[in-house]
Amino acid sequence: MLHVILGLLLIAPQSFYDLIKGFESGVALFYSASSGSIKRALDTLLARGFIEVASVEAKGRGRKVYRPTGSGREEFRAWMTQDPTGSDLETAALSRLYFLGLLEPGERAGVLHRITARIEADLAALTDLEGRLDTLDVGEEHRDLVTHQRAALDYGIAAHRFMLDWFRDHGARHETPDR
């Protein structure tokens, strides 16, 4: 969440309310957040020196507008260019894709490569599991259960294959070295 907020603030300085609207209008397609979690993330970013208050509205509620600091820009760039981690690969990949245009053109292909490498590794683990399951002898009392568990695995493999093909295609069309 911290890096998604940094990305939104790199696009333009925003208030807490603007960030909530930003999540609702675009980021929520791949990353959901409550207003409370956005507020906590803003507080954390402020405490770490990654953002600062750019201005405070003089009248009314004293609305604060936030912007990234130099160290916030560095933190965002480091996150974008490191290997995607965590159990939710789709969110990690789509978060980076959403903000890829904030990086220099020469850095983008590397980000896409790291994403595809992670997809390949996860897909290999799933297909290895598939192979091991094929060797198991399942008793009649568990056949229905195993049928649906296997369907969930098949879905995961198909989703990873789609994601891998999609990211490879996107990289080939948009992030060639001569762009």
One digit per residue, pLDDT tens: the chain, 179 residues? 899 999 999 999 999 999 998 888 888 888 888 889 999 999 999 999 999 998 777 666 778 899 999 999 999 999 999 999 988 899 999 999 999 999 999 999 999 999 999 999 999 999 999 888 878 777 788 878 888 888 999 999 999 999 999 999 999 988 665 54
Last residue of a domain, one of 56, 81, 106: 81
Same domain, 100 and 170: yes
Residue 120 lies in a domain: yes
| pTM: predicted TM-score of the whole model, two decimal places | 0.85
Q: Report the 10 Å Cβ neighbour count for 97.
A: 17
- Residue 63 lies in domain: 2-81
Report DSSP letters for 114-128, one per residue.
HHHHHHHHHHHHHHH
The total domain count for the chain is 2
Cα-based angle 168, 173, 178 (whole degrees, multiple of 5)? 110
Same domain, 16 and 71: yes
Same domain, 22 and 52: yes
Residue 31 backbone phi and psi in degrees, to 5: -150, 110
Kindly give the residue spans of alpha helices, DSSP state H, lying in 35-104: 35-47, 70-81, 89-99
- For residue 135 the two structure tokens come to 């060797």
Say how far apart CA 102 and CA 54 lie, in whole Å: 20
